Amino acid sequence: MIYLDNSATTRPFDSVIEVTVRSMSEAYFNASAAYKPALDVEKEMRACRKAIAMEVGAAEDEVLFTSGGTEGDNLAILGVAQTLREKANFVCSEIEHPAVLETIRRVEKLGHEVRVMPIGPDGVVDLAACAELIDEKTAFVSCMQVSNETGAIQPVEEIARIARAKNADVIVHVDGVQGFMRVPMHMGKMGVDLYALSAHKIHGPKGVGALVVKKRVRLAAQMTGGGQEKNLRSGTYNSAGILALHAAVKEMAARRAEVAALGAMKAHLWQRLCGVAGVRVNGPMPGDAASAPHILSLSFDGVRGEVMRNALEGAGILVSTGSACASHKQKVSTSLRAMGLTQEQADGTIRVSLGLHNRMEEMDAAADQMIRMFALLSKYKRR
């Protein structure tokens, strides 16, 4: 089997599995307890905070543990909205993950206005339109770091600069789930106030992540109880998940050269396909500055994406037709349509996403099967 759906989830590192087993069999203590074994667990959790903070240009005490990207985005958006005393407008891009889009729509019920930034044909936010939408009453701007569908790196630093020129107090939120430790992020230098991440996208476990919150941000808690995480996210710590997240962060950091090499694998796969008539890339071309190293969106003219996906699965190659959260809903991608793709082109799209367990020879095997399946399936294209 060749697994090429790493944007849906990643296979955990062996080190992550080992830490998970140890934390559940030996270091199982409640980190909020006062005896030494529990304090040792709490110390390891602090090390995880520090490691995440170093990766994103923040302070250790600005890292809050969550259950993953969705909770982090919810806490960021609703947490800010519920602290505002006056009605304001919230701005996001039209290609945001549902964890952002569905949540930011909820702030309308609180009386705030929602404005949506359009994107260009390359899948990148239109900065000129962004400057028109943001004004002195904009309280919150959200833009994902990397598109989960096309791999387009979004200009979050430029968006933050535009927003602060209109309102110095604006809060800038970034969904970093597809970008963390694959695309650089320095919250201080880039003007980012809130940054959400998830462990299972970087070869860690599911059900754990973090929201990094700069000190100037006020949030209203969405989960109340025992007061953990500065009273912002109550509940017994998922210490096994947090320690495993730390293991994933450490190994990703130690393998930065391999992370960078994902871009070469992605480029090689496209080089094998680019000469085939009817195959196109959606979003920035591999190798472009705005192209993340690990995600490639491909359209096959006249062949539905789910048909290509199923055919490739039969050949032992696993890809997706879009984001995993919507894969069973068979909805047309709003991101692809926003980029100007026709209905047929959007229908004929698959997403290839790479991880650190992939190898270059797998790109050749995948390309061979894609070319073969496209030639076969094209004979039965819709008329």
By annotation, the residues acting in catalysis are: 325
> Tokens 């039969």 label which residue?
314
Q: Which of 170, 154, 97 is nearest to 290 (CA)?
A: 154
**Coil, helix or strand at residue 189:** helix
Pairwise CA distance, residues 29 & 40, whole Å: 9
Residues 149/95, Cβ–Cβ less than 8 Å: yes
Contacts of 186 (CB under 8 A, 6+ apart): 56, 57
| CA proximity to 112, closest of 136, 89, 130, 133 | 89
CA distance 375 to 358: 25
CA distances from 201 to 12, 252, 355 (A): 9, 11, 9
Q: Which two tokens stand for residue 114?
A: 């929602």
Q: How many CB atoms lie within 10 A of CB 158?
A: 16
Q: Distance between CA 349 and CA 303 in Å, rounded?
A: 8
DSSP conformation class of 275: T
